[in-house]
A and B are shown apart, each in its own frame.
Chain A
Amino acid sequence: MIQSVGRAARILKALGSESARLGVTELAERLGLAKATVYGLLRTLEAHQLVEQDTETGKYRLGPALLQLGNAFLDNNELRARSLLWAETLAGRAREAVHVGVLYGPNVLLVHHVFRPDNSLQILQVGASIPWHACALGKATVAYLDPDARAELLAGPLPRLTGRTLTTRELLEAELEAVVASGVAVEDQEAIVGEAGIAAALFDNRGAVVGAIGLAGPVERLLPDGPASETVAAVKEAARGLSRELGAGRPAVPRAGA
């Protein structure tokens, strides 16, 4: 590992997790580095437009180059690219919004979002970050992770997002078992009151889970009395088809975690 690059990365992450701007002193304290070191790194990052300085306060924030890089991440993300057609088809078939997500730490990062096809005004959710245990995409993904990774996530913070969020290890373990048994994950107002999700995991040709695709919509439509079988079938079909493509032609073999 190259120390200065690692330190620069930590600076970018610190600035990315804060709503307020951060000054040199605050960053130095937060990262346990000398102020002169932080200052030098900031000047270099600034030259590359990865950070910029607020002229009034002198504090630093993320720079415009990151938006470009973020977009490039999305554009080049293979999962997202291959999911475009499958997601569009699924949305048309189920008449609900479709989300495609990947696990990033303890959260699901949405890399693709197809609007519900009803001409209503909707807001693009790409880039949204949702705690894994509170959404169908997350539960679908984590159910197939290797045992160590799964255990780490189950041991981690499980914040309560609504009155129905599952927040204990026991409840979530049972939930993950149900995912493997049924092939889909269901979320019933566990992240947002009034919203539900149905998702299935995506696999690559080595059988490793790489993300999930699913529906997101009003609970009364998605889960009228539990998920409707045609809806579940549509989600599974999209996941299977997309997984096959990610396997570069070879059929994906889902491998459930022990």
Chain B
Amino acid sequence: MRLWLNDVAARLEAERDFLTQLDAAIGDADHGVNMHRGFTAVVAKVGAAGEISAGQLLKLAGRTFVSTVGGAAGPLYGTAFLQAGEALGDHERFGPKLLGEALRASLEGVQRVGAASPGDKTMVDALTPALAAYELELRMGGSLETAVSGAREAAAEGMRATIPLQARKGRASYLGPRSVGHQDPGATSSALMFAALEQAVLADRSQRFASGARRQVSGP
């Protein structure tokens, strides 16, 4: 979980100007700055937190986000992390099924606060296909790795699919037809998080594999 949060923070720092640019076209030009500021605070809080469960880490991330990030991103991502953290609870380790429940809870929270549906040109347009791909992979017998991979790909596709849409929510919706032709910043930052999730899962697996191999070599 910490791996993931740190990776998201790093990606948001790298993509800050890009996100700001996207938001300048159809929003109020602060998404990149907001997300970067929020995740910098999250990384600091998480770094200072002792040994707490992944669920508690996420809830801490959610609370931090709500209190440091303004605009729509604060309440929306804050709710997403809080709901995901609730779903994970105090479990020290969690399997793909529980992670799926956390993802679903976060999408439901986002839709409750923002009232967006797929096609409105929002972060929901990345979250919904990502969740669907994740759940489909598991249902077809896939592993955690293939599920987060599928989610990453679906989120990226969903993000690109926002380009021709006309915004029906948020400040972009005030632009009407002018919002067409621009990629949604919220969908972009969401897709970024799924890319980080895939990396974190793969990195975690190779870490565990490496430590397992060392144990084998050095004997029981």
A160 interface residue per 8 A CB criterion:
yes
A77 interface residue per 8 A CB criterion:
no
A125 interface residue per 8 A CB criterion:
yes
Q: In the bound complex, do residue B174 and residue A161 qualify as a contact, i.e. CB atoms below 8 Å apart?
A: no
Bound together, the chains give a CA A189 to CA B76 distance in angstroms of 12
Chain B: minimal CB distance from A131 (Å): 9
Bound together, the chains give a CA A160 to CA B29 distance in angstroms of 24
Interface-lining segment among B143-151, B152-160, B165-173, B202-210: B165-173
Q: In the bound complex, do residue A163 and residue B72 qualify as a contact, i.e. CB atoms below 8 Å apart?
A: no
Within 8 A of A (CB), among B97-128: 112-115
A120: chain B residues at CB < 8 Å are 30
A128: chain B residues at CB < 8 Å are 171, 174-175
Q: In the bound complex, do residue B74 and residue A194 qualify as a contact, i.e. CB atoms below 8 Å apart?
A: yes
B47 interface residue per 8 A CB criterion:
no
A92 interface residue per 8 A CB criterion:
no
B180 interface residue per 8 A CB criterion:
yes
The answer, among B30, B112, B173, B180, for a CB contact under 8 Å with A163, is B112
Q: In the bound complex, do residue A194 and residue B29 qualify as a contact, i.e. CB atoms below 8 Å apart?
A: no
| Chain A contact residues, majority secondary structure | loop
B85 interface residue per 8 A CB criterion:
no
Q: How many A-B residue pairs have CB under 8 A?
A: 60
Q: In the bound complex, do residue A17 and residue B76 qualify as a contact, i.e. CB atoms below 8 Å apart?
A: no
Chain B: minimal CB distance from A114 (Å): 14
Known: A161-B115, A162-B169, A163-B113. A123 touches B70 (CB 8 A): no
A171: chain B residues at CB < 8 Å are none
A192 interface residue per 8 A CB criterion:
yes
Contact bitstring A220-248, B, C-beta under 8 A = 1, else 0: 10000000000000000000000000000
Q: In the bound complex, do residue A165 and residue B28 qualify as a contact, i.e. CB atoms below 8 Å apart?
A: no
Q: In the bound complex, do residue A193 and residue B113 qualify as a contact, i.e. CB atoms below 8 Å apart?
A: yes
Contact bitstring B63-101, A, C-beta under 8 A = 1, else 0: 000000011111110000000000000000000000000
Q: In the bound complex, do residue B70 and residue A220 qualify as a contact, i.e. CB atoms below 8 Å apart?
A: yes
B175: chain A residues at CB < 8 Å are 128
Report, as a range, how many residues of chain B touch the other chain.
Answer: 20 to 34
The answer, among B27, B72, B173, for a CB contact under 8 Å with A193, is B72
A123: chain B residues at CB < 8 Å are 24, 27-29
A129: chain B residues at CB < 8 Å are 174, 176
Q: In the bound complex, do residue B115 and residue A160 qualify as a contact, i.e. CB atoms below 8 Å apart?
A: yes
The answer, among A19, A163, A194, A195, for a CB contact under 8 Å with B177, is A19
A192: chain B residues at CB < 8 Å are 72, 170-171
Chain B residue nearest to A16 (CB atoms) is B177
B176: chain A residues at CB < 8 Å are 17, 19, 129
A71 interface residue per 8 A CB criterion:
no
Interface centre among B112, B166, B177 (most CB of A within 10 A): B177
B30: chain A residues at CB < 8 Å are 120-121
Chain B: minimal CB distance from A54 (Å): 14
Chain B residue nearest to A189 (CB atoms) is B75
Bound together, the chains give a CA A181 to CA B42 distance in angstroms of 44
Chain B residue nearest to A167 (CB atoms) is B115
Q: In the bound complex, do residue B177 and residue A17 qualify as a contact, i.e. CB atoms below 8 Å apart?
A: yes
A145 interface residue per 8 A CB criterion:
no
Known: A192-B170, A194-B72. A122 touches B114 (CB 8 A): no
Please name 22 pairs of A and B residues whose Cβ atoms are closer than 8 Å in the assembled complex, sorted by A.
A17-B177, A18-B177, A19-B166, A120-B30, A121-B24, A122-B28, A123-B27, A128-B171, A129-B176, A130-B174, A160-B115, A161-B115, A162-B114, A162-B115, A163-B113, A163-B115, A165-B115, A193-B76, A193-B113, A193-B114, A193-B170, A194-B71
The 4 closest A-B pairs by CB, nearest first: A128-B174, A19-B177, A193-B72, A19-B180
Residues of B within 8 A of A (CB): 24, 27-30, 70-76, 112-115, 166, 169-171, 173-177, 180
- Contacts A128-B174, A129-B174, A218-B70 supplied; 5 other A-B pairs, CB < 8 Å: A17-B177, A122-B28, A163-B113, A193-B170, A220-B70
